[in-house]
Chains A and B, each alone.
Chain A
Amino acid sequence: MELICPAGTPSALRDAVAAGADAVYCGFADETNARNFPGLNFSRSEMAESIAHAHQAGVKVLVAINTFARAGAVNIWHSAVDDAVDAGADAVIVADVGVMDYVARTHPQQRLHVSVQAAAANPDAIRFYVDRFNAKRVVLPRVLSVPEIAAIGKEVNCETEVFIFGGLCVMEEGRCSLSSYATGKSPNMDGVCSPASHIQYREENGMLVSRLGEFTINKFAAGEAAAYPTLCKGRYQTSEGSGYLFEDPTSLDATTMLPELKNAGVCALKIEGRQRGRAYIERVVRTFRQALRALDAGQPIPTDELRGLSEGQSTTTGAYKKTWR
C-alpha cells in the first residue's frame, strides 16, 4: 500500500519525502484546492521545484485541484490543470466533473484521481468517473466501513485510496454547506472550511470561547483539549442539554485497521493535514512508515502514537468500524 502524505508548503513536502512518503499531495495557492489557507500552498515555480525534488527521491507528487469550478471563472481551474501537468505532476486529484472532463480531453495522458470531495461512495458512481474520464484511482469518502470498501474494490476497475489519519468531515464531503452558511465561504467553492478571517477566540471567565462568524462554536474549560472552530464539531445548547450534535472533535486514526484495509484491497493510504506544520507532517509520516514496515514484516504495529497531534487530543476509527451511536 502506498503512503500518501500531505504538504502545505515546499518545506513540508521535503519533510514528507524525507520521512518516508511514497507520494505527496499538495495544491496551488488559490481557490482551486480545498486547503486555500493564508500563507499556505505552492506558487507555480515552487510546485515545479518541489516535484523535481520529490522525483529525485523517487517520490510521486499528486496535485489537488479539488474544489468545484465557479461559473464564469473555469479558466482558473483549467490553468491549474495545465500548470500541474507542465510541472510534472504524477496525478491530478479532481472533484468537479467539468474539470475532470477538461483533464481527459486536454491531457489524456495525465493520470487522474477522483478526489474525496467528489463523494464517490458506490461502484456506479466510481465506474462513471472511470468510464467517462479514465480515472485511475478514487479517494473514498470517509463514510464507508471496511467491508463496504472491500465490496467496492471488487466491483470497480480502478485503485482505491482511503484516509488513515487526520481531521474528519461530517460525512458530507463535497456537499457540506455549514461553513458557507456561517461565513459565505466553503471548502467546496473557496477551498476554506471555517475561514480564518471569520474565526474569533477569546478568554471568558477562564474558558476559551471559539466563534465562527455569528455563531459560538464551543466553550472549553481550563485544561480541556481544544478543537477547530467548525460548525460540525460545535458543542451546542439545546432543550435537552449541551453536547456535540453532529460530530465529536476528534481525529481519525486507522492504525489498528491497517491489516484489514490491506486485506480489503486498498491501494493507497492517505494522511490528512495539508494545513498542519512540518512537525505534524514529519511525525505522522514517519510513524505510519514504521507501521507499514511492521505490517509487511508481520510484526505488531505500535498504536496510539499520535494522540497528542490529534484534534481534541482524541482519536477514532471513524466509519471503518461504525461503533458510534
Chain B
Amino acid sequence: MPLALAARVLPLLPLQVLLNICLGEIRSRHPRIFDRLGSNTGKRYGLEPTDLPIAFVLEPRRMNPRITVVRSLPSNLDARIAGPLSALIGMTDGSYDGDALFFSRDIHVDGDMEAVVALRNAIDDSRVDFLSESVLWLGPLAAPIERILRSIVGSPSAREEMGVGRGG
C-alpha cells in the first residue's frame, strides 16, 4: 500500500499540521458533533488504521480540537478504535455501519465504550465526509487530490473483498 510506505518513511509533523487544519475546518462546519459528544469532548481517542504504520490521537475539544500523529498509540487513552483505514473512513462518511463492522470483526474497540458510542453517533449524524472536506482548502486542486486519496484508501468494491462491504 503506497500510503503505508509513505507513512513509514516520511516525517509526521507536516501530516499532523495538515490534519489539524482539516480538523479546524470540520469543527467550524459541523458544530453539532460537539453537542452530541457532550462530556466526551474531553476524552482522548486512539484511532489506529491497522494497515498503516501510524496512528492518531484525537482530542475533540469543542474550543480547540486536536489530532496528533504517532508511530504507536500511547497508553493514556480513554478509548481505542482500530481497523483498516477504509473501514474507519467509511464509518465517518456513512458508507459503513459501525455495529456491523464490529460484528464482522473488521474493527476493534476498547476502553470507554460510552465515549466510543458517542463519537460514532456524533460523526454519523454530522455527515462529515472526511476525505472530501480535508482537501477543500486546496481550492482548485481539491477534486483531483480527493480522487487520488480515494483510490489510495480503497474503493467500495475493494472493501467488499475485505469483508466489510456486506456490512453496509
Contact = CB atoms under 8 A, between A and B. Distances in A.
A313 B124 contact: no
Looking at chain A's contact residues, the main secondary structure is: mixed
B111 to A, nearest CB: 8
B8 interface: no
Given A9-B124, A11-B125, A308-B167, A280 B117 contact: no
Contacts of A228: 99
Given A8-B121, A196-B113, A200-B113, A225 B105 contact: yes
Given A224-B105, A226-B103, A308-B104, A277 B166 contact: no
A52 to B, nearest CB: 17
A279 B113 contact: no
Interface string A228-268: 10000000000000000000000000000000000000000
B102 to A, nearest CB: 6
B99 A39 contact: no
A37 interface: yes
Contacts, number: 118
B20 interface: no
A310 B103 contact: yes
Given A277-B97, A280-B100, A226 B105 contact: yes
A276 interface: yes
Contacts of A276: 97, 99
Contact of A280 (B90, B97, B126): B97
Interface in A152-211: 195-197, 199-203, 208
B121 A37 contact: yes
B167 A309 contact: yes
Contact of A11 (B40, B113, B127): B127
Interface string A206-227: 0010000000000010111111
B108 A278 contact: no
Which of B119, B127, B165 has the most chain A CB atoms inside 10 A of its CB? B127
Interface string B28-70: 0000000111101000000000000000000000000000000
Given A200-B113, A279-B168, 14 more contacts: A12-B125, A39-B38, A39-B40, A39-B117, A43-B35, A202-B110, A208-B105, A222-B105, A226-B105, A277-B97, A277-B99, A278-B124, A279-B97, A309-B97
7 contacts: A39-B118, A199-B113, A203-B108, A225-B105, A279-B90, A309-B167, A313-B104
